[in-house]
Chains A and B, each alone.
Chain A
Amino acid sequence: MNFAVLQFPASNCDQDAVHVLRNVLGHSARLLWHKEHSLGDADAVIIPGGFSYGDYLRTGAIARFSPVMQAVQNFAAAGGLVLGICNGFQILCEAGLLPGALIRNRSLQFRCEHVFLKTMTTDSPFTNRVPPGQLLRVPIAHGEGCYFADEATLEQLRAGHRVLWTYVDAKGEATEAANPNGSLSNIAGICNEARNVAGLMPHPERASEPILGCADGRLIFESLIHALQHRPAARAA
């Protein structure tokens, strides 16, 4: 599979994502500068973490108007798979490809630690390989990861089974203490209505090899690859 990993000024998890896709999972991955107008032959797009444009104005606010994001809009509209990680999630929300917004952590602290994620549904291209009931241990590193959406949007997310991951404790309970940033309903990641665009604040690319202490994040990339390998028919480019 061919992955395009976007690169904005001040992206900083781009190389990690490429490393996991190429060297750990054995697929093709290339970096795509934000000024590009085309995604080329990409089968899926990863929008990596970082601080695109210095987080100026709002996180993701300026990146979302980069030329490459117009290509991502078209790609997503045609059913292409797009995964936004951390800053990538913020960019997807700013771009309107995902509902809601990520705001300053309730504690005002930058949180950098491992969390437990509960996968709320395996019915998505991003979660299909996660064994039911298995919690994922993945790191977070963000100051603005508090997921906010109005009540009507939250209800749509719940009703449509579009909350993909929530922050939980080691027992799998979505407690206040297990919520690192104040996200509504402990939401760590969601997908769009068509289920082909997803975003999450935690970093699966930093937890995809045992040498890093944890390889649970790999399940998310393996889900994506599984979905691409089993997609019904070739998508028109």
Chain B
Amino acid sequence: MKAKIIVTPKKAVLDPQGKTVQNALAHMGYTGVGAVRVGKYLEIELAVSDKETARRQIDEACHKILSNPVIEDYRFEIE
């Protein structure tokens, strides 16, 4: 199984990288570009057969180490 995890900065947290990318896109002539948030994508291979166990493990790992709940949100899929 594989976990696909997306970690993004919380809405309330300033994201200077996203702002810079947004400005760059506007500078390149892409019109109508709104707010950009830059996050992280992780893929984790799992040697677990039960999807529910995998879900529980990944949720715990996201909370403990893969994201920082003070500044980031996460979501994931198990495939």
Task: Report A's interface with B, CB cutoff 8 A.
Answer: 57-58, 61-62, 65, 93-94, 99-101, 103-108, 146, 148-150, 182
Contacts and interface: CB of A to CB of B under 8 A. Distances in A.
Contact of B65 (A61, A93, A107): A61
A56 to B, nearest CB: 11
Nearest to A105: B16
Contacts, number: 37
Nearest to A65: B65
- Interface size grouping (class) on chain B: 10 to 19
Given A61-B68, A100-B70, A106 B20 contact: no
Given A107-B16, A148-B70, A148-B71, 10 more contacts: A57-B65, A99-B70, A101-B71, A103-B13, A105-B16, A106-B14, A108-B20, A150-B12, A150-B70, A182-B14
B57 interface: no
B16 A149 contact: no
B21 to A, nearest CB: 11
Contacts of B70: 93, 99-101, 148-150
